[in-house]
Amino acid sequence: MTATGGAHWLPEATDPPLRDVTLGELLSERAAALPDRPALIFDDAGAPPCWTYAELEAQVIHLAKALLAQGIAPGDRVAVLSGNCPEWVLLEYALGKIGAVLVTVNPSFRSGELDYLLRQARVSALFAAGVFRGFDTGALLAGMLPALDAGRPGAQSAYPDLQLVVQLGAARVPGALPFGSVLSGAAKTSDAALAKVARAVRPEDVLQIQYTSGTTGKPKGAMLTHRGTVNNALLAAARAGYRETDVMVSAMPLFHTAGCVCNVMGMLAAGGALVVMADFDAARVLDLIEAHGGTVTNGVPTMYIRMLQDPRLCAGSRDLSSWRIAYTGGTSIPPQLMLELHDRIGCEPVIIMGMTECSPIITQTVPEEPLEARVRTAGVPLPHVEICIVDPESGAVQPVGAEGELQIRGFLVTAGYFDMPDQTDAAIGSDGWLKSGDLAVMDAEGHLRIIGRIKDMLIRGGENVYPVEIEDWLMQHPAIAEAQVVGVPDPEFGEEIFAFVVLRAGEELEAAALRDWCRSRIARHKVPRHVAFIGSTPKTANGKVRKVDLRKMAQEMLEKDTIA
């Protein structure tokens, strides 16, 4: 319910109640209650792992013992650099069971981004796949860790906290310890030793560090707790109406909260099965729904658009009668898209609004409400979650229906940014309110609509992209004197990256060459799609860049097709 006189949603302290439980404890509960129920299936051309809850728990216990044998201790920060694979999920659970902290890494990262993360998080162990989407990550790591031998960085390592590097998968990471070798050491840890460590893990302990770029250009590591993520998954699963018999099919990346919390923990919360894809392919998603009797999907709008264009679906030759729920979020959700999914497939849309710092879901649609209402907002806050809409300048609560900054308070809010006390204090007040930086409107029933952003950010295909971070990279190019980045509408990805570049006197540079330069340094989703070379940028009287003018210029150039 909303408080009288303003856009302030008081937390609903109703069923289900919050639980003080760790991720490892929840997995053990499910393994005891549902030992033979399928838990995790990987879509793999070879021999895909398919584990029941009892088998998954056994795999996790074995790995947890192996991690302890390697010297990984509670509180250690352990980074995982890999695409979706079985080892990723096992590490998520096993690290949680021993109280170590999972540091998620976008596998598209290049040397500059990875260097920053390893240093800032003071990572003590790195589990890395040797290749991702054709890129030789092993060679990248070999360049960054030239003295790596048998998994141990050399004494002169640029990363003094890093004590262990482990190879995931068959693609080589030179000098890294194979994952199988790590597993072989599990016998060195007794059941009693593991149990003692696991009992000491508390719900309020940090489970993950998820890096989110910021308006300063430096990514910040949001510390998410067992209590925050596990309860977020439990409450979201209950709101969505998940069942023990549900089978979720999804290609959402595990390094993102959509994969490792909404998918992995969401199905764990319900006791259902998760079918994980290594990469998204529209036809393959539909194949897996048919093969496994999939009932739930999770994807960004672009994925659903491509699925609806599947030739066999359009020809009426698919049996998707089991598909019950289409879960989505991460960007603006076109109402017509969700209505089309409902009309053509019969599945019910579940729309969420979240942010990494909120573990991640803040609001979610209510299944009992009319379809038309569900597809036009991001729902209402989850139980035990408090939100308000405030004037960004004064901080006063806005009237119902008036726009303002969304703020959030409750169990779901991050414990802070790792080793960044000033940024933590700037984002989270002493009263516990987290400033989202999003402009939003809330109606009298608590339905939330995001209408814009206070912070300079764009969302490309569900990924948050901060222009200042890209601008910082562009400014390192020797030919560039000034760079400004804005977002422009895109029919496929929602928004695309448009870079305005001012060259130094006498310098020449082509857009294609600049993109190639960017690809060697930053993740591909941050590489500008459009590049325009201009003589100067529009500025205010006090010298501030007028990005509103740049957005208009970008739109005009796109309409006239005059950019590279």
In a domain, 211, yes or no: no
3-class DSSP state of 62: helix
Domain boundary among 201, 233, 249: 201
| Distances, alpha carbon 237 to alpha carbons 230, 234, 263, 456, 522, in Å | 11, 5, 10, 32, 35
If asked whether residues 448 and 518 sit together in one domain, one would say no
User: Amino acid identity of 520?
Assistant: S
Pairing of strands 385-390, 404-410: antiparallel
> Does residue 236 lie in a domain region?
yes
Residues 422 and 449 grouped into a single domain = yes
User: What would the mean pLDDT of 91-100 be, rounded to a whole number?
Assistant: 98
Within 401-560, residue ranges assigned H as helices are: 421-427, 467-474, 511-519, 547-560
pLDDT band with cut points at 50, 70 and 90 for residue 458 = confident
Burial 155-193 (b: 16+ CB within 10 A, else e): eebebeebbbbbbbbeeebbbbbbbeebbeebeebeeee
We report the CATH number of the domain holding residue 524 as 3.30.300.30
Same domain, 383 and 335: yes
Phi/psi at 163 (5° precision): -110, -15
Tokens of 143: 């360049």
CA–CA dist 521, 281 (Å, integer): 27
Q: Report pLDDT for 370.
A: 95
Amino acid at 405: E
User: Over the stretch 270-286, which tens digit does the pLDDT of each residue have?
Assistant: 999 999 999 999 999 99
Looking at the structure, do residues 194 and 291 belong to the same domain, yes or no? no
Are residues 65 and 180 part of one domain?
Answer: yes
* Mean pLDDT on 332-361: 93
Let me know whether 383 and 278 are in one domain. Answer: yes
Q: Is residue 3 part of a domain?
A: no
Q: Are residues 86 and 69 in the same domain?
A: yes
pLDDT at 461: 85
381: CB partners within 8 A, 6+ apart? 9, 11, 12, 362, 363, 387, 446, 448
Same domain assignment for residues 402 and 501: no
Which domain CATH number covers 399?
3.40.50.12780
**Domain membership flag for residue 353:** yes
Q: Which domain holds residue 253?
A: 8-16+222-453
> Cα–Cα distance between 153 and 143 in angstroms, integer?
12
Q: Rounded CA gap, 376 and 395, in Å?
A: 27
Both 350 and 432 in a single domain?
A: yes
In this structure, are 67 and 117 located in the same domain? yes
pTM score of the predicted model: 0.86
- Is residue 207 situated within a structural domain? no
Residues 440, 477 share a domain: no
Which domain-ending residue is among 139, 170, 201? 201
Give exposure, 452-471, as e/b (b: 16+ Cβ within 10 Å).
ebebebbbbbbbbbbbbbbb
In the predicted model, is pLDDT for residue 502 greater than 60?
Answer: yes
- Dist. CA 254–CA 490, nearest whole Å: 25
Q: Which of the four pLDDT bands, split at 50, 70 and 90, describes residue 564?
A: low
Both 447 and 462 in one domain: the answer is no
Whether residue 543 is predicted with pLDDT greater than 90 in this model: the reply is: no
CATH code for the domain of 83 = 3.40.50.980
343 lies in some domain: yes
In 3D space, the residue among 469, 471, 524, 448 whose CA is nearest the CA of residue 493 turns out to be 524
Cα separation, 203 vs 180, in Å, equals 30
Flag whether 2 is in a domain: no
When divided into structural domains, the chain yields a total of: 3
Check residue 476 and give left, alpha or beta (phi > 0: left; psi -120 to 50: alpha): alpha
Give the separation between CA 411 and CA 16, rounded to whole angstroms: 14
Name the average pLDDT for the chain: 93
Residue 506 domain flag: yes
pLDDT at position 49, please? 84
pLDDT at 12 over 90: no
Last residue of a domain, one of 453, 485, 519: 453
For position 2, what pLDDT does the model report? Answer: 55
Mean pLDDT comparison of 46-60, 87-101, 442-456, highest-scoring range: 87-101
Taking 60 as the threshold, does the pLDDT of residue 311 lie above it? yes
In this model, does residue 435 exceed pLDDT 70? yes
